[in-house]
Amino acid sequence: MTDGPSFGFDTLQIHAGARPDPATGARQVPIYQTTAYVFRDAEHAAALFNLQEVGYIYSRLTNPTVAALQERVATLEGGAGAVCCSSGHAAQIMALFPIMEPGRNVVVSTRLYGGSITQFSQTIKRFGWSAKFVDFDDMDAVAAAIDEDTRAVFCESIANPGGYITDLDAAAKVADAAGLPLIVDNTSATPYLCRPIEHGATLVVHSMTKYLTGNGTVTGGVVVDSGNFDWSASDKFPSLSAPEPAYHGLKFHETFGPLAFTFHGIAIGLRDLGMTLNPQAAHYTLMGIETLSLRMQRHVENAKRVASWLENHPAVEQVTYAGLASSPYNDRVARICPNGAGGLFTVGLKGGYDACVKFVDSLEIFSHVANLGDTRSLVIHSASTTHRQLTEEQQIAAGAAPNVVRISIGIEDANDLIADLDQALGKASA
């Protein structure tokens, strides 16, 4: 099929990137479980290695199953291209790798997944990079944090764990004024609920492990390139604008234009970092995306109903779901996430830390796991797990205070979920 604006989301999530296999006619994308690919001749091999021709060399770089997934996600996000990798954390490093250098920094939101906070505050220091954490509800503070060494602005569309919705239009305006790319983690929203590129994002990253796959079977990540950023407008991004020694002085932006970041991600990022997505994981994710819109509709429907019920429970202090009229982020739903506020939020319990632990241990339908975005409803006490490595001040800033439980609402019967929550809250507050 020809992917284009004439096709709706429901059609593209099934057909984008998928064509009948030319050798067998197989309708589903085959799992190309192969390491290498035979070259037509020596001239063909040389052209591939010199980036003069697009094709398959070695599955650390490119693979037909993974390529189909890259095309599908890029199409759904409205991007020019995409690079898949082994996990969401890998995607974040892949997104930063072409634009950062030792001594450079990235301005990031305080409201991030706990593992991302650790990655930005600790791990990237090993590359000589640093991060400045800022509350993205204060765009003046975001602008003030940007300095001559800043190379990117990073946030989540729907923040994990609290479900807070970021004002992407305002963030993009700040990034544009500084001549910097805005990188948006769209994991919690998916392109069905939010398309960050339409709000000015340069790059979009996903942990495909979550809603895109939707069945809790594999890990995977992706970086989607909008193709809209001018990497040659300044000397801040030499990896994309300056001659590349490994390719005889080729300039990625000059040569590949809107696909410069995508080609760099494959030819340099995957080549040297090796954060490759395996074809079987790509296959599972492709199948998951086929039902993405149907699942997200149910996630949103259930989340709104469950959050409304929880908000009125005597044991509950606060519910952070942006889909509630009481949420300070509710006015952003229609503008940023027009199809709904997602299925992720937190619940603050009046009984504090101990009540949270008892509550989690008492649930029966909800699975106590370190994951989100599954068809199954999931729960975790972030302060003692995913955000355990943070100080209490950092936990509160991230929306993961000690008295808070993160809930990922699945697609089960909402009545059953409410009944399970009710009995667990009763035990936790007894």
Provide the residue ranges of all domains of the chain, joining segments of one domain with +. 10-288, 292-428
Domains 10-288 and 292-428 share a fold: no
- Dist CA 327 CA 413 (whole Å): 25
Report residue 226's pLDDT band, with 50, 70 and 90 as the boundaries: very high
Residue 268's pLDDT is 97
255-290: per-residue pLDDT in tens?
A: 999 999 999 999 999 999 999 999 999 999 999 999
Please check whether residue 167 is in contact with residue 332, taking contact to mean a CB–CB distance below 8 angstroms: yes
Structure tokens at 182: 């805005």
pLDDT(48) > 60: yes
Q: Helix, strand or coil for residue 128?
A: coil
Residue 5's pLDDT is 54
Residue 100's pLDDT is 98
- Dist CA 304 CA 137 (whole Å): 23
Residue 398's pLDDT is 75
351-369: per-residue pLDDT in tens?
A: 999 999 999 999 999 999 9
pLDDT(383) > 90: no
Residue 356's pLDDT is 94
Report residue 387's pLDDT band, with 50, 70 and 90 as the boundaries: confident
pLDDT(4) > 80: no
Neighbours of 343 (CB within 10 A): 34
Please check whether residue 13 is in contact with residue 289, taking contact to mean a CB–CB distance below 8 angstroms: yes
Residue 223's pLDDT is 98
Task: State mean pLDDT over 292-315.
Answer: 98
- Dist CA 264 CA 252 (whole Å): 7
CATH 3.40.1190.20 fits 10-288, yes or no: no
142-173: per-residue pLDDT in tens?
A: 999 999 999 999 999 999 988 999 999 999 99
Report residue 393's pLDDT band, with 50, 70 and 90 as the boundaries: confident
Could you write out the DSSP letters of every residue in 21-51? -TTT--SSPP----SB---SSHHHHHHHHTT
CATH 3.20.20.480 fits 292-428, yes or no: no
- Dist CA 51 CA 74 (whole Å): 21
Structure pTM? 0.95
- Dist CA 84 CA 95 (whole Å): 11
Report residue 3's pLDDT band, with 50, 70 and 90 as the boundaries: very low
Residue 120's pLDDT is 97
- Spell out where 163-244 has E strands: 182-185, 203-207, 221-225
Name the residue among 193, 202, 100, 85 with its Cα closest to residue 155: 202
How many Cα atoms sit within 13 Å of 292 on the Cβ side?
33
132 pairs with which residues across the strands? 107
Q: Establish whether the linkage from the previous residue to 161 is cis, with ω within 30° of 0.
A: yes
- Dist CA 392 CA 370 (whole Å): 20
